[in-house]
Amino acid sequence: MRVFATCVFCLTASASLAGPFDGTYRPAGDWAQGWDCRSVGQDGGALAVRDGVLYGIESACQLTNPVNVRDMTAVLYDGQCASEGYTYAERLMLMRLPDRGLAIVRDGAVTTLKRCR
């Protein structure tokens, strides 16, 4: 579960930075079909990218230094993150998936999300 939570942290920046990824999401696995797409950031709730912020489960990351990834619908960011009272920095990439989903890529981990309807 810790790896999953690590994979769904949040990002904050100006709306122009994360705008292409704005939306509300849930994990892509069948096990998450019952997740509440209205309760963003809570256990069993949705994950979201809004106005430059990716909201994860009790977590947030501020995105800075966006770098478009050539030939991909993806952006690499420096993240200043906070989760459960801890702060840390990490590199991460947001990538649009063909089904309107989202991939969050971190060193050693990829989380795929489905857009909530």
What digits encode the pLDDT tens for the residues 62-101?
Answer: 888 889 999 999 999 888 889 989 999 999 999 999 888 9
Q: Compute how many other C-beta atoms are within 10 angstroms of the C-beta atom of residue 61.
A: 27
SS3 category, 51: coil
- For the whole model, what pTM was predicted? 0.77
* pLDDT at residue 112 in the model: 94
| Cross-strand partners of 103 | 95, 112
Q: Which residue has the tokens 């019952």?
A: 34
Please write the tens of the pLDDT for every residue from 9-68: 333 333 344 478 888 999 988 888 888 888 888 888 888 888 777 788 889 888 888 899
Angstrom CA distances, 66 to 3, 44, 97, stand at 24, 30, 19
Q: Nearest 5°: CA angle at 27, between 23 and 28?
A: 100
* pLDDT at residue 107 in the model: 93
* pLDDT at residue 6 in the model: 37
Q: Which residue has the tokens 């420096």?
A: 78
Q: Which alpha helices (DSSP H) does the chain contain, by range?
A: 2-7, 15-18
Encoded tokens for 75: 């952006």
